[in-house]
Chains A and B, each alone.
Chain A
Amino acid sequence: MFVFIHRAVLASILAGGLAATPALAQTSKGDRELGQYLSSECVTCHQLSGKQSEGVPAIVGWPEDQFVAVMRAYKNRERENAVMRTIAGRLSQSDIEALAAYFGSLPKPAAP
């Protein structure tokens, strides 16, 4: 899974998707409280506990820069999934950073 993410980050950078590349170096630009509200949309599918279930992957405890890159890849239609494209489509850069800050701050479940 992480190999996959790194590839997505790379792909976004190559595609010029990461206009705000310097953001990668920093941490927690996001408004965590906004992130918590926005996350309520995500947790209808993605479990807050970090449990992956069938076709819905776990999204908690990620490094924020990777989270932002993956969300931008859906927004920029470099990643396929129709649900995620629609969801990411209306998120602004600061929304995505807020989500990255919130989900990034949650603990991953103990390794199975």
Chain B
Amino acid sequence: MIIDRRRLLVGSASLGAATLLAAPPVLGQAKPRVVVIGGGPGGATAAKYIAKDSKGAIEVTLVEPAKQFVTCFHSNLYLGGFRDLASITHSYDKLAANYGVKLNHQTARAIDRDKKEVVLEDGSRLPYDRLVVSPGIDLKYDSVPGWGREHEETMPHAWKAGPQTALLRKRLEAVPDGGLVVMIAPPNPYRCPPGPYERISMMAHVLKSAGKTKAKIVVIDAKETFSKQALFQEGWNKHYPGMVEWMGPKIHEGLKSVDPRTNTVVTGFETFKDAALVNVIPAQTAGRIALDSGLANQTGFCPILPENMKSASDPNIYVLGDATIAGDMPKSGFSANSQAKVAAMAIRGELTDARVFPARYANTCWSLLAPDDTVKIGGSYEAKDGRIAAVETFVSKTGETAELRKETQAENMGWYAGIIADVFT
């Protein structure tokens, strides 16, 4: 079962072979170099694990414009008043201090795949032996008629955490009793399948807690069904009766347009006027750098080899997280973190003589419905028949006891502390 690179290399005439073993990959170059684009749970985890486990034998540079990372995960808990913004904001400093990861706070402008160099914002170039690309998603600003980048202040998306998240909360707090909130929910595939529905729960919780039970949340969804649907709908009926109205395409007959000047949402069936808040979550693609570098296919996401997260189109590049087509794995922070560990091991195997074990992936996503009422979905995954396939999955059940739901929320909080310790310390 254990793949030993040294043995695999025997008889291999590939170019890559020369760069392996402990020998310097390039004449005169001291150490093999890995560049990581993107400091989310995919990129930051990969940078940490490569640096940590190679014990300094590989030089790792993390390219990320932001000095601090605000997690989208638990940003709904911030929205619901269960966390403050500081508690979901994290610094990269420990990756540098503890493992010697070099931080480069710039945006990568291009990848020169022939020269194996990353071109940075300031025009400088970072050469690499292996490149990790984990840029997350980009929003398709042209996917909702009437809405675009210039409207994200009036109709926030909050699908990238930071100022947008704070803006959404401010706008939510200003919704009056009897006011209308409209959420435009995205088509598949998108970041965090249960995310929009956890957000609806948190919006309803905030409104209800403020005594605004006559406010209403209408969801115009691009999909006929959604993640953990029965669990969410049970929760909404129980905690927020009459406050949430979800509509799939068969009911709303298609989203026709939005008008950010009048806060109007027009569907084939109905026009919603004077909404107090419209939260537009548009369709998504892999982050721009992945598209521009030709790592994505016609779906807008990047095909990878399921056994190690290597790009299907470039043996020197690995792609992680939301940007990838990862088979049965959802686009989550948990998944990105899990994929990063597989890639880190594979890269160490290629650049040093580290042992390489068969890839194992995992994911769990918790969703908070109301205080101490949390549900979860998850599974374990492996490479099978050319894709990442689920080995075993689980999901919470409707009608579970309050005690179990409370334990599940304690797990959720424990997980957040755990993944943050894993990625950023």
Contacts and interface: CB of A to CB of B under 8 A. Distances in A.
Contacts of B412: 55
Contacts of A34: 2, 357
Given A38-B360, A44-B415, A55-B414, A86 B393 contact: yes
Interface of A: 33-34, 37-38, 40-41, 43-49, 51-56, 82-83, 85-87, 89-90
A3 to B, nearest CB: 19
Query: Top 6 A-B pairs ranked by shortest CB distance?
Result: A55-B410, A56-B414, A53-B417, A55-B411, A54-B414, A54-B413
A86 B364 CA distance: 10
A52 to B, nearest CB: 8
Contact of A54 (B2, B334, B417): B417
A19 to B, nearest CB: 21
Contact of A37 (B357, B364, B376, B396): B357
Contacts of A49: 421
Contacts of B362: 41, 44, 87
B418 interface: yes
B419 interface: yes
A53 B418 contact: yes
Contacts of A51: 417, 421
B391 interface: yes
Nearest to B381: A90
B363 to A, nearest CB: 9
Given A45-B411, A45-B419, 19 more contacts: A38-B357, A41-B360, A43-B422, A48-B421, A49-B421, A53-B417, A54-B411, A55-B407, A55-B410, A55-B414, A82-B378, A82-B394, A83-B364, A83-B378, A85-B394, A86-B378, A86-B394, A90-B380, A90-B391
24 contacts: A37-B345, A38-B357, A44-B338, A44-B422, A45-B414, A45-B418, A45-B419, A47-B418, A47-B421, A51-B417, A52-B414, A53-B413, A53-B417, A55-B412, A55-B413, A55-B414, A56-B417, A56-B418, A82-B376, A82-B378, A83-B376, A85-B394, A86-B393, A90-B380
